[in-house]
Homo-oligomer: A and B are copies of this chain.
Amino acid sequence: MIKPGSKTSKHPSPHGRQHPSNPLKDKLHEIIFEADTPAGLVFDVCLLVAILASILFVCLDTVVALQKTYGLFFWYMEWFFAILFTIEYLLRLYCVKRPWRYATSFFGIIDLMSFLPTYLIAFISPGTSFAVIRALRLLRVFRIFKLMRLLNEADEMGRAILHARAKIVVFFAVVLISVCIAGTLMYEIENFGIPLEQRAHRQFSNIPEAIYWAITTMTTVGYGDIVPTTALGKVVSSMLILLGYSLIIVPTGFVSAEFMSIKKKTATTRNCQSCATEGHDSDAIYCKYCGEAL
């Protein structure tokens, strides 16, 4: 179900094997960065459990009732995970070929951020404002990004999104234009004939508020904290709703077509014996590159 990050694992390892290097370092690298050995798989599963458990404790720590009863336990668990992630970070630093490059990479920074706030809170002077401590405590939630290392199926999905990016820009531009126009119209319709000063206490109090309403409406979220009350407002919002309900069809269709064409290319694995090229259609008789019969 979960495979190691392909880029991270494949890139440094060939170098590591070319040099006559430390066998412990090699072994560690294999366990930590690769998932195709049993030890590597066990490491990945343990890391997954540790990430999810540590996030859970950070979240539960903000529930006042639980914090009063289990506060000390949460504190011990926090230190347990902080030390665990510190060890993981140091091991990663030790076994990669270029520690500095890892330390400054996206995952290096995420790994560092997963334990640093815990130490900072501990060494902070008692006079520091509560808000700073709190912000630091909540930064620990960002260790959820460590999960991304365990996913490498995102590659193909990323490619489909990349191919469809121009369409996605158009899609978001249409959404942006729609919510701006609809928000402005609704602000004026719902407040028609009401002086500017009194509008502040009404539902569509200003255009940004009306745009927020338009976004929640067009995407079919529909909180209901702001709702149209005039007849014309209801007609305009019905039209916006129907636009949003049908607009999502277009990017869905486009991304489907994109996935299909990626799938088609990767599905045809026939090789030409003459020129060793791939990508021939299943109904091809001759190699399309060298002209030899397949």
Determine the chain B residues whose CB is within 8 A of the CB of A170 once the complex forms: 151, 153-154, 157
Query: Which of B176, B231, B253 is A259 in contact with, Cβ under 8 Å?
Result: B253
Most chain B C-beta atoms within 10 Å of own C-beta, residue among A3, A62, A171, A257? A62
**In the complex, A223 has a CB within 8 A of chain B:** yes
Could you give, for residues 261-294 of chain A, a 1 whenever the CB lies within 8 Å of some chain B CB and a 0 otherwise?
1110001000000010111111111111111110
Q: Bound complex: CA of A177 vs CA of B168, how far in Å?
A: 22
Question: What is the count of identical protomers in the complex?
Answer: 4
Is the beta-carbon distance between B255 and A241 smaller than 8 angstroms? no
Determine the chain B residues whose CB is within 8 A of the CB of A292 once the complex forms: 291
**In the complex, A199 has a CB within 8 A of chain B:** yes
Is the beta-carbon distance between B157 and A250 smaller than 8 angstroms? yes
Determine the chain B residues whose CB is within 8 A of the CB of A32 once the complex forms: none
Is the beta-carbon distance between B267 and A277 smaller than 8 angstroms? no
Q: With A286-B288, A288-B286 as known contacts, state yes or no: A177 contacts B148, CB within 8 Å.
A: yes
Is the beta-carbon distance between A291 and B289 smaller than 8 angstroms? no
Determine the chain B residues whose CB is within 8 A of the CB of A262 once the complex forms: 257
Query: Which of B64, B254, B275, B279 is A199 in contact with, Cβ under 8 Å?
Result: B64
Nearest CB in chain B to that of A275: its residue: B285
DSSP majority for the A interface?
helix
Give the shortest distance, in Å, between A176 (CB) and chain B (any CB).
7
Q: Choose the segment among A37-45, A74-82, A91-99, A213-221 that binds chain B (4+ C-beta atoms closer than 8 Å).
A: A213-221
Determine the chain B residues whose CB is within 8 A of the CB of A116 once the complex forms: none
Q: Bound complex: CA of A160 vs CA of B209, how far in Å?
A: 34
Q: Bound complex: CA of A3 vs CA of B165, how far in Å?
A: 13
Interface residues of A in 115-168 (CB under 8 A from B): 130-131, 134-135, 138, 141-142, 144-145, 147-148, 150-151, 153-154, 156-157, 160-161, 165-168
Determine the chain B residues whose CB is within 8 A of the CB of A35 once the complex forms: none
Is the beta-carbon distance between B252 and A59 smaller than 8 angstroms? no
Determine the chain B residues whose CB is within 8 A of the CB of A105 once the complex forms: none
Is the beta-carbon distance between A283 and B291 smaller than 8 angstroms? no
Q: Can you name 21 A-B residue pairings with CB atoms under 8 Å?
A: A58-B207, A59-B180, A59-B184, A59-B206, A62-B199, A63-B205, A63-B207, A63-B208, A131-B192, A145-B177, A153-B166, A161-B250, A172-B246, A220-B222, A221-B222, A221-B241, A245-B248, A256-B259, A256-B260, A261-B267, A283-B289
State the A residues within 8 Å of B (CB). 1-3, 55, 58-60, 62-65, 130-131, 134-135, 138, 141-142, 144-145, 147-148, 150-151, 153-154, 156-157, 160-161, 165-173, 175-177, 180-181, 183-184, 187-188, 192-193, 195-197, 199-200, 205-209, 211-212, 215-217, 219-225, 227, 231, 234, 238, 241-242, 244-246, 248-263, 267, 275, 277-293
